[in-house]
Amino acid sequence: MRRSFLRISSAGLLGLVLGTHALKGEASTYKEIEWDDLMPEGWRKKMILEVTRMRRYGSLMDGDPKADEAYARLKKAWDTAPPSKVYIGKAIRIPGYVVPLDAERMQSSEFLLVPYFGACIHSPPPPANQIILVKPPKGSKVRTMDAIWVEGVLSEGRSYSEIGSSAYVLNADKITPYR
Amino acid sequence: MVWLRIAFFSALARKGGLLIMVLSTAISVAILLGVFKIRDDTKTSFSNAISGVDLVVGAKGSPTELILYSVFHIGRATNTIAASYEKSLMAIKPVAWVVPVQLGDSFRGYPVVGTSIEFFTRIKAQGRHLELSEGKALTDPTLFEVVLGANVAKNTQLKRGEQIAITHGSGTGPKQDHSNSPFRVAGILKPNGTPIDNAVFISTNAFDALHDIEEGGIQFAKLNPDSQVSAFYVGLKDRGGVFSVRRQIDALPNAGLMGVMPGVALDDLWSTMEVAENALLIISLGVLITTILGITATLLVSLENRRRELAIFRAIGAKPYQLLRLVLFEALLISLIGIALGWLLLQIAILLSADYFRTSWGVVTSIGLPTTHDLMSLLALVIVVLLCACIPAIKAYRMALNEELNPPST
Amino acid sequence: MPPKRGEIWIHGERLQDLSRSAVDRLRGEEMGFIFQQFNLIPYLSVADNILLPTHLYPERRQAAIAEFGSLDLALTHLLQRLGLAAELLTQAAHQLSIGQQQRVAAARAFIGRPSIVIADEPTSALDWKNQTQLMDLFLSLAHEQRTALVMVSHDERLSEHFDERMTLAQKVAV
């Protein structure tokens, strides 16, 4: 009798502990992810191989047609980098840098989110599956290269495969500065 | 109230020194209100540039310069590129439309823009399509039709159907003979708060034909195969593909082109402007502080010269706080007259410089009543002046209290 | 200015006992002053100068109106008594001659029936003819308004006109 009582109460205690954990999980409904998570695993491995191969050309002179060609091919492949299906339709939370699409001083209605600073100015642009087209809540204003957190539901970018566009679109519920 | 009158006449009697203080206040106020106005007007003129354009394509160079020139029509002219590149640009997959932009001539101080018919359907202002208040947009590139921006029509009083003379180069020379000019106003746009309001639009063919018109008598503008443009406005099927398009533009063989994202270039411009605005603000505050210190010093020094005057008031039974108030009234008088004069100075300055600001800087400014922000700042200024004037005012109070003001004797 | 020695009593009250603001009120309501020179506020008009006590203290104002019906009439009366032309009313005080200024000072001192007028060498800056003239005016005004006139002077001849006289360096109970 006593043993069954103990078993029930310990199960209850366990349930309580697990239950509170579950509650905590409910509170932050946005799963925090990293940019690497947005690259399909297979594609990522392929890219690593390509980049390693590129390093071999590093010993050649700048402007060597072979190196240029390889570089151009790589950049072209990046235009049609496929999205990872893992987080499509999920509520995610991800940090990044802003590249504005509109030219209005007082508010932003759409912008691109990229993983690194200077993605449109100094460095070459990222592959398509590392670009998110964000639609922010009304009244937001962000500036070029602002570092922010976005929270929202991720969806697949339309027509990315044919014309080379951002692989993802996100309807942002909230934007906060990145500290 | 009698003390206000006394303060006024007392100040009048010492007007030499005080006039300088009033002038100083006027200049400081003119500068402060002027800086506020510059900030507001540049914000209005530059905050809404152009909508619906995903890339501006031009000759390789400074992105900010390209945007300033091709969108705002100000700054240094950028190198031109061949109009035939339009085809190459349309060939890039994500591109939906391409509109050429030609610049370099002006009509009565307003920039003349050579463009295609598609400009009026593709380009938006503040998210809304362009609308006409009169007439129609360009319909046929071979005709010498003209579409006027709202401000141009307002300031030149031109109406639909009227004939105008657009000549090669700046059209501010002596009045030309209009009778031979084939240009006719076909439509007038509604105001939309962008640089489009201040521009004059003709077709690219007509733009190229500007040189030939001087020789007289042409009816139709031919297509010029060697036509050059200052920039192309490009719209994409999917905005997310902007990086890819930029890369492909960059990769066009021997083209020397660059694609600029307007939002990015403008953010740069706006940050620079904010830095400049803040610098101007700090300087004008510095000028103001100098003036306030000057007023305080003048009032303090004047007390020495007014011992006899204050002693007489004391003899008739004036209370010490009334003398304190007298000094404060004088400070109030100086500030109010200075502020009024300063505002007047600013209006005159605006009247004299408005045209220059519009043509050289693309900033539209005009005279007008002070804004709420202006008035709040002026109120704060008066309060600060009165606070500082408490120093001489309290001195007068103490002089009265300590019986330092003795009845005048030989 | 507090006395160095002794005491000052006005209307049965000791001056030292009164608060500063009470002293100011006393000065404004009950007293008038005529100094040797520089009596007037130079940039104010003659009218403004004379009316100053009435602007500062309503009692003086009421008294003047009670006596003459209006401030304007009070002004007219005083000007007349002191032999000043009415046109002078609008002129700035600094434009008048010394003699005229002293008369205006007298008008200011006497307006609104103060109980005491204190005059400190009021005529020494003038020539003899004007001095006697002015003295007569002061005295007749004082009589008319039943105002006590206390005068300080170095000229002994003037003491004849007064009921009480006191030589400094003498201790007298008045």
pLDDT number for residue B176: 52
Size of interface A-B (CB pairs under 8 A): 101
Closest partner residue to B243 among A110, A125, A162, by Cβ?
A125
Residue B254 DSSP SS3: coil
* All residues at 6 or more sequence positions from A137 whose CB lies less than 8 Å from its CB, including other chains: A172, A173, A174, A175
Q: What is the mean pLDDT of chain B?
A: 86
C125 pLDDT tier (thresholds 50, 70, 90): confident
pLDDT for the residue B388: 93
- Distance, in Å, from the CA atom of B331 to the CA atom of B291, rounded to the nearest integer, reads 12
> Which 279-318 residues of chain B touch chain C by CB within 8 A?
308-309, 312-313, 315-318
Categorize the per-residue pLDDT at A93 as very low, low, confident or very high, splitting at 50, 70 and 90: very high
| Rg of chain B on CA atoms, in Å | 30
Distances in Å between the Cα of B168 and the Cα atoms of A19, B109, B111, B203 are 80, 13, 12, 15
Amino acid at B70: S
Q: Which residues of B touch C43 (CB under 8 A)?
A: 9-10, 12-13
Report the interhelical angle of B2-13 vs B15-47 (nearest 10°).
100
**Amino acid, single-letter form, for residue B382:** V
Instruction: Tell me the C-alpha distance between C159 and C174, whole Å.
Output: 16
Q: Phi then psi for A97, rounded to 5 degrees?
A: -110, 145
Q: Is the pLDDT of residue B367 over 70?
A: yes
pLDDT at C173: 39
pLDDT at residue A17 in the model: 47
pLDDT at residue B174 is higher than 60: no
Burial A49-88 (b: 16+ CB within 10 A, else e): eeeeeeeeeeeeeeeeeebeebeeebbeebbbbbbbeebe
Q: Do B247 and A125 count as a contact with CB atoms less than 8 A apart?
A: yes
- The radius of gyration of chain C's CA atoms, rounded to the nearest angstrom, is 16
Distances (CA, A) of B393 to B328, B389, B390: 6, 6, 5
Confidence of residue A73 (pLDDT cuts 50, 70, 90): confident
A146-160, B44-58, C159-173: which range is least confident on average? C159-173
Of residues B115 and C171, the one with the higher pLDDT is B115
Give kind and range of the element (H or E) at residue A155.
Answer: strand A147-156
DSSP alpha helices (H): ranges in B92-234?
119-122, 150-156, 204-208, 210-213
Judged by CB atoms closer than 8 Å, whether chains meet at B315 and C56 is answered as: no
E runs forming strands in B196-292: 200-203, 228-229, 231-236, 257-260
Q: What is the predicted pLDDT for the residue at A13?
A: 53
Per-residue pLDDT, B27: 95
What H or E segment, with its residue span, contains residue B126?
A: none
- For residue B405, the surrounding DSSP H or E stretch is none
Is the confidence at residue C14, as pLDDT, over 80?
A: no
| Backbone torsion region of residue A117, taken as left when φ is above 0, otherwise alpha when ψ lies between -120 and 50, otherwise beta | beta
Is B16 in the C-facing interface, judged by CB distances under 8 Å?
Answer: no
* Average pLDDT over every residue of C10-25: 75
Predicted confidence (pLDDT) at residue B10 exceeds the cutoff of 70: yes
Most C CBs within 10 Å: which of B306, B312, B322, as the mutation test of the C interface? B312
- List the alpha helices (DSSP H) in chain C: 20-30, 46-56, 58-68, 71-81, 98-110, 128-145
Q: What is the pLDDT of residue A14?
A: 52
- The structural domains of chain A, with segments of one domain joined by +, span 30-177
Closest Cα in chain A, distance from residue B325 (Å) = 47
User: Burial, C18: exposed, middle or buried (Cβ in 10 Å; 0-12, 13-18, 19+)?
Assistant: middle
Contacts 24+ apart (CB under 8 A), B115-118: B115/B201, B115/B202, B115/B203, B115/B204, B116/B141, B116/B203, B116/B204, B117/B141, B117/B203
Is the confidence at residue C171, as pLDDT, over 50? no
Select the more confidently predicted residue: A95 or A6: A95
Residue of B nearest to C118 (CA): B315
Task: Count other C-beta atoms under 10 Å from residue B71's C-beta.
Answer: 25
| Subunit contact B247:A99, Cβ cutoff 8 A | no
Q: Confidence band (pLDDT; 50, 70, 90) for B169?
A: low
List of residues 6+ apart from B138 with CB closer than 8 A: B115, B116, B117, B119, B120, B145, B147, B186, B201, B202, B203
Chain B residues whose CB is inside 8 A of the A111 CB are 263
Residue A144 has pLDDT above 50, yes or no: yes
The reported pLDDT for the residue numbered A22 is 45
What is chain C's mean pLDDT, rounded?
81
Which has the higher per-residue pLDDT, C16 or A25? C16
pLDDT category of residue C170 using cuts at 50, 70 and 90 = very low
Weakest-pLDDT range from A119-133, B118-132, B274-288: A119-133
Residue B134 pLDDT greater than 90, yes or no: no
For B156, the token pair is 């030149």
Task: Pick the residue from chain A with its C-alpha nearest to B46.
Answer: A105
Query: Is the per-residue pLDDT at A6 higher than 60?
Result: no
Asked which of A72-76, A129-133, B69-73, B299-303 is least confident by mean pLDDT, the reply is: A72-76
Query: Could you tell me the pLDDT band of residue B55, with boundaries at 50, 70 and 90?
Result: very high
Residue C144 or residue B388, greater confidence: B388
Q: How far apart are the first and last CA of chain B?
A: 33
A with B: 3 or more CB pairs under 8 Å? yes
Here the ipTM equals: 0.86
User: Chain B closest CA to A101's CA: distance in Å?
Assistant: 6
Instruction: Provide the pLDDT for residue B218.
Output: 64
| Residue A41 pLDDT | 85
With pLDDT > 70 as the criterion, what percentage of chain B qualifies? 92
Q: Domains of chain C, with CATH numbers?
A: 29-161 (3.40.50.300)
- Cα–Cα distance, B152 to C47 (Å, whole number): 61
User: Considering only CB atoms, which residues of chain C are within 8 Å of chain B?
Assistant: 1, 20-21, 24-29, 31, 33, 35-44, 48, 52-53, 55-57, 108, 120
Chains that touch B (3 or more CB pairs under 8 A): A, C
Output the CA angle B273-B276-B280, nearest 5 degrees. 135
Task: Domain ranges for chain B, please list them.
Answer: 2-46+269-401, 55-260
Query: What does each C-alpha distance from C45 to A127, B200, C79, C94, C95 come to in angstroms?
Result: 88, 65, 14, 9, 9
Q: B75, B69 in Cβ contact below 8 A?
A: yes
Q: Is CATH 2.40.50.870 what the domain over A30-177 is classified as, yes or no?
A: yes
Give residue C22's Cα distance to chain centre: 20
Q: Number of residue pairs across B and C with CB atoms under 8 Å?
A: 63
pLDDT of residue A29: 81
Question: Helix or strand or coil: residue A148?
Answer: strand
In the prediction, which pLDDT does A20 show?
44
Rounded to 5 degrees, what are φ and ψ at C97? -75, 165
Q: Is B9 on the interface with C (CB under 8 A)?
A: yes
Tell me the per-residue pLDDT of B307-327, one tens digit each, with 9 for 90 and over: 888 888 888 888 888 989 999
Quote the pLDDT of residue C138. Answer: 84
- pLDDT tens readout for residues B104-131: 888 888 899 999 999 999 988 877 888 8
Cβ neighbours around A15 below 10 Å, total: 11
Number of Cβ within a 10 Å radius of residue B59:
16
B42: amino acid identity, one letter? T
Handedness of CA B358, B363, B364, B367 (dihedral sign): negative
- Residue B201's pLDDT band, with cuts at 50, 70 and 90, is very high
Other Cβ atoms less than 10 A from the Cβ of B298: the count is: 19
What distance lies between CA A127 and its chain's CA centroid? 11
Sign of CA pseudo-dihedral B75, B81, B82, B84 = negative
Owner of token pair 């360009």: B138
B319 contacts on C by Cβ (under 8 Å): 21, 24
pLDDT score at C154:
77
User: Is residue A24 predicted with pLDDT exceeding 70?
Assistant: no
Q: Closest approach of chain A CAs to the CA of B155, in angstroms?
A: 27
Terminal C-alpha separation, chain A: 57
Asked if the model's pLDDT at residue B53 lies above 70, the reply is: yes
Q: What is the distance between the alpha carbons of residues B243 and B269, in angstroms, rounded to a whole number?
A: 21
Residue in A161, A159, A76 with CA at minimum distance from that of residue A125: A76
pLDDT for res B114: 92
How many angstroms separate the CA atoms of A75 and A53, rounded?
Answer: 14
The rounded distance, in Å, linking the Cα atoms of A134 and C108 is: 83
From the CA of B326, how many Å to the nearest CA of chain C? 13
